[in-house]
Amino acid sequence: MQQSKVVDLTDVLALEAADIALEHGLAMTDAIIYATAQRFDAELYSSDADLKGLPGVHFIPIP
């Protein structure tokens, strides 16, 4: 958590997320998370099945 960064949801980031939502059929909240990770060149670790298989996403299944 010490390496975490809080970023503002700017108009530009929101528009990028909207494009990603349409392209990948994601809910807007998932698209915002994914777009933010992409924008900051961050690897995304998630157990959200909707993000599974996207570039830069490390899927962690929940037992």
Q: How many domains are there within the chain?
A: 1
pTM to 2 decimal places? 0.88
| Residue 3 placed within a domain | no
Q: At what angle do helices 28-39 and 11-24 cross, to 10 degrees?
A: 120
Looking at residue 1, what is its pLDDT?
64
The DSSP output letter for 37 is H
| Residue 46 placed within a domain | yes
Looking at residue 4, what is its pLDDT?
82
| Residue 2 placed within a domain | no
Segments in the chain below pLDDT 50:
none
Looking at residue 3, what is its pLDDT?
77
CA 4 to chain CA mean position, Å: 14
Cα–Cα dist 24/47, whole Å: 17
31 is in which domain, residue-wise? 11-59
Query: Phi first, then psi: what are they for 9, rounded to 5°?
Result: -85, 100
